[in-house]
Amino acid sequence: MRIVIAEDSAILRDGLAGLLVERGHEVVAMVGDASTLSDVVGEHNPDVAVVDVRMPPSFTDEGLLAAIELRRKYPMTGVLVFSQWIETRYATELLAGGASGVGYLLKDRVADVRDFVDALYRVATGGTALDPEVVSQLMGASRQQDSLARLTPREREVLELMAQGLSNNAIADALTVTERAVEKHIGNIFAKLDLPPSDTHHRRVLAVLRLKG
């Protein structure tokens, strides 16, 4: 396989490259940030790119966004996201066009180098390699989005104001409605998000987390 590695940690980058070269594969390029990844792939035309999620400059989701760009610009190049983190929002977008030639593995859950190389080969040849934990979280995120989709525009507006930390009275003032109307909307929000009354969980916080998730 011809491989490009995008990993900000020099030790991990060099270590991964060494393991792959030892097993007869060619690492054609390595980058420490996501901004140059697309150009490098365009230049070297690898079979597969191994991409970390959190990379410079903000160390949030640059790598995953770069992976999505690779899928769009170079659909024949496999993309294996290899990270400690699961970013469900952009991971869903990465898989939106189909899982062929895509992988998402968690660094802490890969116990055997052979398993990693096998997964990399599957992705390079048009297959799929998804960690079960990634699949589980993506399915959970999908269910959350389905429940949010059941909210009316007004209920969504109320929830967004809740996320800003506003009280019911402040929400009522912002929307020019009564506080009782706000309470009714919040009750509907809890029902549609499947958040029953609980002595151990704060439903208002859970509802906001669904919105932010």
Closest to 210 measured CA to CA, from 161, 140, 131, 153: 140
Grade residue 141 by pLDDT with cuts at 50, 70 and 90. low
**What global pTM score does this model have?**
0.67
The pLDDT of residue 134: 77
Averaged pLDDT for residues 45-73: 93
The pLDDT of residue 89: 72
Give CA–CA dist 169/171, Å, rounded: 5
Grade residue 157 by pLDDT with cuts at 50, 70 and 90. very high
Token pair, residue 107, equals 């660094």
Percent of the residues in the chain that have a pLDDT greater than 90, as a whole number? 60
Closest to 12 measured CA to CA, from 71, 68, 55: 55
Contacts of residue 68, Cβ cutoff 8 Å, sequence gap at least 6 = 90, 93, 94
> For residue 130, what are the β-bridge partners?
104
CB-CB neighbours of 46 under 10 Å:
22
Angle at 106 between CA 121 and CA 120, to 5 degrees: 5
Beta strands, E only, the chain:
2-6, 26-31, 48-51, 78-83, 102-106, 128-130
Q: What 8-state DSSP symbol labels residue 31?
A: E
The average confidence (pLDDT) of the chain is 88
Averaged pLDDT for residues 172-198: 91
Give tens-digit pLDDT for 22-33: 999 999 999 999
Q: What 8-state DSSP symbol labels residue 173?
A: H
- For the cut 70, the answer to whether the pLDDT of residue 142 exceeds it is no
The pLDDT of residue 188: 93
Token pair, residue 178, equals 């009564």
